[in-house]
Amino acid sequence: MGNIVAIVGRPNVGKSTFFNRLIQRREAIVDSVSGVTRDRHYGKSDWNGRNFSLIDTGGYVVGSDDIFEAEIDKQVELAIDEADAIIFMVDVESGVTPMDEDVAQLLRKVDKPVLLAVNKVDNNKRLENAVEFYSLGLGEYFPIASTNGSGTGDLLDALVEAL
17 binds, among ligand GDP, Mg ion, none (CB under 5 to 8 A by kind): ligand GDP
45 binds, among ligand GDP, Mg ion, none (CB under 5 to 8 A by kind): none
Provide the minimum distance between the beta carbon of 103 and Mg ion in the complex, in angstroms, as a whole number. 15
Has 124 been labeled as part of a binding site? no
Residues of this chain that bind ligand GDP (CB under 6 A)? 11-17, 59, 119-120, 122, 145-147
Has 56 been labeled as part of a binding site? yes
Q: Find all residues with CB under 8 Å of 70, minimum gap 6, and list them.
A: none
Q: How far apart are CA 43 and CA 125, in angstroms?
A: 33
Smallest Cα–Cα separation from 15: which of 74, 75, 69, 70? 75
**37 versus 50: smaller Cβ distance to ligand GDP:** 37
DSSP string, 28-75: EEEEEPTT-S-EEEEEEEEETTEEEEEEEES---TT-----HHHHHHH
Smallest Cα–Cα separation from 102: which of 69, 55, 65? 69
Has 60 been labeled as part of a binding site? yes
Interface pick for Mg ion out of 16, 45, 119, 146 (rule CB under 5 A):
16
Interface pick for Mg ion out of 9, 59, 143, 151 (rule CB under 5 A):
59
User: Do the bridges between strand 4-8 and strand 25-32 make them parallel or antiparallel, or are there none, so unpaired?
Assistant: unpaired
**15 versus 120: smaller Cβ distance to Mg ion:** 15
Has 46 been labeled as part of a binding site? no
The annotated binding site for GTP is made up of 9-16, 56-60, 119-122
